[in-house]
A = this chain, B = another copy of it.
Amino acid sequence: MPRTGRPRAFNRDQAVVAAMLLFWEHGFESTSLAQLRAAMGDISAASFYAAFESKEALFREVVDQYISTYGQVSESFRDTSMTAKAAIEDGLRRSARMQTESSHPLGCLIVLSASTCSPELKHIMELLSKEREKVRGWQQACIERAIAHGELPASTDIPMLVTLFDTFLRGISSQARDGVPIEAIDAAITMLMSVWDALSEKT
């Protein structure tokens, strides 16, 4: 924090949020600096680069901002105060609800904002891929916990079950973008979770 000097004329935190909404809607590469600066309070290029190192550095901040706010829905996956099944179900339902809310762009920023990009931006894709891998890891931990607690049989195919839930989870982004209503997704989650019960009966 600077103790001296001319104070910043815009709110940095609000600017990051504004940038997040743009990156979320249009993706990293398709969001131009001009658009960003306009949305961040009509700031000049000089002001932008004085506050942020680069477009890429801003995006990294945006990803952190997203994860610590909207992305919190997937924290359900690592909530060990519920049963493993409830954690998976809650993570899916909360993700679906958040991604279909009309108060912000549809779908998930982590899944959508760099699903494809130029070769020279591969590291941006990998940055997001690592975040998705985290969420997948939480889901896997859920299933391993269920097996350890006897909620699922020891013979359960862990990669299979993780892939089942994680693939559905990622598909929600595409469905939300195409306007599929939360009711249909929520009902599909109920159906999807029924496979858990079918598996647990074999215990």
The number of chain A residues with a CB under 8 A from chain B is: 49
B contact residues around A177 at 8 Å (CB): 115, 129
Q: Does A200 contact B (CB under 8 A)?
A: no
| B26 touching A174, Cβ below 8 Å | no
A116 → B minimal CB distance (Å): 3
Number of copies: 2
Q: Which residues, 103 to 120 on A, are CB-close (under 8 Å) to B?
A: 111-113, 115-119
Q: Which of A6-14, A68-76, A163-171 contacts B (4 or more CB under 8 A)?
A: A163-171
Using a CB–CB cutoff of 8 Å, the interface residues on chain A facing chain B are 25-27, 29-30, 32, 111-113, 115-119, 121, 129, 132-133, 157, 159-164, 166-175, 177-178, 180, 183-185, 187-188, 190-192, 194-195, 198
